[in-house]
Amino acid sequence: MRWVRLDVRGSDACELAPDGAGWSLRGRAEFADARGDAQLAYAVAADSVWRTVRGTVRGTVGETPVALSIERGATGEWTLNGRPVPALQGLVDLDLGFTPATNLFPLRRLALRPGEAANAEAALLDEATWTLRRLRQRYERRNESGWWYESPDAGYAALLQVNPDGFVVDYPGLWRGADSFRK
């Protein structure tokens, strides 16, 4: 999947593949940042029911190197570069704030039918501070491709359009699937 960023100059591309008893998502995001151009490679592994197992982010933002390793333990504990993050206990989703790719995991895990809704708090990697924090989110499936998304912590709410694979292809004001520009 490929995206073009709408709020600043940027792009993202990722690939999803089966990986043993789960899934592997690997991608690369490039975008303008107040600290300089960002070039970040990311990988997120999920189990067979789309719960995050681990993630990595490597690259640079401006002149600053970024090297992060995130783990979710079997009993729901999270670590960032080996250090516990107790405030995230029990969460199952990792949201990499700089890419729309990780919305795929809660969308697939929730498997909502049209008219159904669910809260899906996530461990958000905040790219401003490179820390993990709790992110309240709610998804409501409106129809086959439309999902209402709300994140009161981020002050964002919009109708997301999702392709049949579960990737967001229209994230109003933030991202659009690169293929959406071809007509």
Count of domains observed in the chain: 1
pLDDT at 131: 97
pLDDT at 9: 97
> Left (φ > 0), alpha (ψ -120 to 50) or beta: where does 142 sit?
alpha
Q: For residue range 22-43, what is the model confidence (pLDDT) as tens digits?
A: 999 999 999 999 999 999 999 9
pTM: 0.94
Please tell me the distance from the alpha carbon of residue 81 to that of residue 13, in angstroms, as a whole number.
25
Give the distance from CA 161 to its chain's centroid. Answer: 15
State which residues form the domain around 13.
2-181
Spell out, as residue ranges, where the chain has pLDDT lower than 50: 181-183
pLDDT at 179: 74
Contact between 37 and 29 (Cβ < 8 Å): no
